[in-house]
Chain A
């Protein structure tokens, strides 16, 4: 049976000192005399040093063996080191260590009554030191042992070093925790980085998608623009030919034939309208539309609209009312575009209103310096869920009130685009069964782009203006008519057979001789050979375009003086118009060709020509 007193762990060098101090204190408490205290402490010191030096760590246990006298003071010093390889050599005194002169174990053995050494290679060493308690000392009991332990605790040597050690250990622990936290942070950081990479990738993908969409949108606009041009040519042919038929240019029509041709013409007109709307939309989206601001009065705009729209008012149950605009200052904006928007609103209102009043008003918002033009009707109204849809392209509402009315589905989108071009906005207030109010709000003074277009270059949408060149000649010249016309030779250069046919038919009453070619190169050749009095030239042709042909005509002295009239179905920009006007005597749109205007043109040009010769 044994009592355990205390244990000292050997972990640091200073623990060796602690162990020997403990040994000395315990020995004193157990009643050993001064000499034996020193002996025991020295022996413990030697062996604890060995444990620290050779095994790096160990422990020293202090115990009492036996319940009755003679009791033994027992110190067990153990470690998990490599064991003592040359124990016998050491015990024989033949070993010399570098630190303790080989005295550690032998010396310690001499200082105690009994010393047992258990050492296995690789499994550590345990040394038991035993010393019989002094005879005069009282035997150790549970009770006395407790008081010894208590007094030991009081003597706990708490030097600054221990405290530093303790703090050091705490620091090491804190450091380990910190490192753990840091690792965690690094981990989180890595995860974040991964996420970030993912987000970046997604972003790039989105970007790509967006540019795809943009490209697709551009493609759509370009497609619309190109297709509209392509559509124009045949539609113009249909319109011109049906007009020829209706004018009895080729003899009388029967009643049925007239009706049929009338239907063809109506279909053609509807198609032309659709194509024009598409073209406008495509032009706006391609950013090709020019704003031509002028100063005008709202009341003038209203009277022009009234004149234009009165013919559409066929129903007796609907009234179109223009409220007299009061207090509206002089506006500076693109009157044509504004008029186009309001025309669209009003014609929509006329389409959908069966009875009641369509009211057109203008109100001034002084704070914003804006003017709002509104068109209110008493039609069926538009459900809230449809109100934003109707501004999308090609959307037509599918409800009974709208079913029997046809449109292109492009009017309102076009209005919206036009309004935003004018720095304005479109508004809609509508209730089902009550009516709708469409409004456009524009600034009083349009400032985005100053008007850079001179007055005599007018919008193509105004048909009468296409003959500006011819008109000029007309007003200036009064020549001898017949002589010139007698020897008239007209060369038509157009790749479209229908267009050539229409022109020759239109001019069939004129005493002309026609030459037709379907490309620019042949046209040039024929021009040199026959010296025609007039060249009618198309612009959009394969191989040589009309512009190239014009350049060549003007570059060649033999053909330079031949008058050229450009007839095209393309929409001509102001720049193109400027370029063409220097080289031609007239520019005509194919959709506006009529026997009168072309005849007038021919006469003018040829007379001018005759005079100059």
Chain B
């Protein structure tokens, strides 16, 4: 059965979507990812959609869902490399992807996540001290 691979990089899970996913594959990815967040105790998820030329309402909602679930599981989600045409189309469709952080490239995305982790640790340490 085909699957989108999920890589672990420290406390971050890295997903690069390189194929045009059909709906079931998207759902499978959603399930796999939530499971891996728990299993690997990840605190961040990077989803690279730079190869995708189309993101329709279903996929958009799937991305929003992943972000929401990850947040509940104490992980931050950043969507990386959305193409301008895709972004415009999503907005025209009426999808806002509210609550989903985006970044133009990997470096920015990693920096965002690291900053977020630092904030969290600081917050946690402060509460203890």
| Interface, chain A (partner B; CB < 8 A) | 13-14, 16-17, 20-21, 24, 34-35, 37-39, 41-42, 45-46, 49, 99-101, 103-104, 106-107, 110-111, 161
CA A439 to CA B84, docked complex, whole Å: 120
CB neighbours (8 Å) of A111 from chain B are: 89, 92-93
List residues of B whose CB falls within 8 A of some A CB.
2, 20-24, 53-58, 61, 83-86, 88-89, 92-95
Q: In the complex the two chains form, what is the Cα distance from A254 to B43 in whole Å?
A: 152
- 5 A-B residue pairings within 8 Å (CB atoms): A42-B55, A101-B57, A103-B95, A106-B94, A107-B57
Q: How far is the CA of A460 from the CA of B2 in the complex (A)?
A: 103
Is A100 a contact partner of B61 (Cβ separation < 8 A)? yes
Contact B94 A110, beta carbon cutoff 8 Å: yes
Bound-complex Cα distance A16 to B56 (A): 12
| B92 engages A24 (CB within 8 Å) | no
- Min Cβ gap A96→B in Å is 11
Query: How long is the Cα–Cα vector from A401 to B58 in the complex, in angstroms?
Result: 115
A14-B22, A42-B89 known; A20 and B94 CB under 8 Å?
no
B53, A24: Cβ atoms closer than 8 Å:
yes
Verify A34–B85 contact, CB threshold 8 A: yes
Chain B residue numbers with a CB within 8 Å of A101 are 57, 61, 95
Assuming the contacts A13-B24, A49-B23, A99-B61, asked whether A20 and B56 have C-beta atoms less than 8 A apart, the reply is yes
Contact, CB under 8 Å: B54 / A45: yes
Q: In the complex the two chains form, what is the Cα distance from A100 to B58 in whole Å?
A: 5
How far apart are the CA atoms of A411 and B88 in the complex, in Å? Answer: 122
Majority DSSP secondary structure for residues of A touching B: helix
Known: A24-B53, A38-B85. A107 touches B22 (CB 8 A): no
Contact in complex: A104, B57 (CB < 8 Å) = yes
Residue in B21, B55, B84, B92 whose beta carbon sits within 8 Å of that of A110 in the complex: B92
Q: Which residues of B contact A161 (CB under 8 A)?
A: 2
Chain A residues whose C-beta falls within 8 Å of the C-beta of B93 in the assembled complex: 42, 46, 103, 107, 110-111
Closest to B24 in A: A13
For residue B83, which residues in chain A have a CB less than 8 angstroms away from its CB?
38
Closest chain-B Cβ to A76's Cβ sits at a distance in Å of: 19
Q: Which of B20, B84, B89 contacts A17 (CB 8 A)?
A: B20
- Shortest Cβ distance from B92 into A: residue: A110
Cβ-defined partner of A21 (8 Å) among B2, B20, B88: B20
**Which chain A positions have C-beta within 8 A of B55?**
42
Most buried by B among A49, A100, A104, A111: A100
Partner of A20, one of B54, B86, B88: B54
> In this complex, what residue of B is CB-closest to A35?
B85
Check if B53 sits within 8 Å of A103, measured CB to CB: no
Residues of A within 8 A of B95 (CB): 101, 103, 107
Given A99-B61, A110-B92; 6 other pairs, CB 8 A cutoff: A20-B56, A37-B53, A42-B54, A49-B58, A101-B95, A111-B93
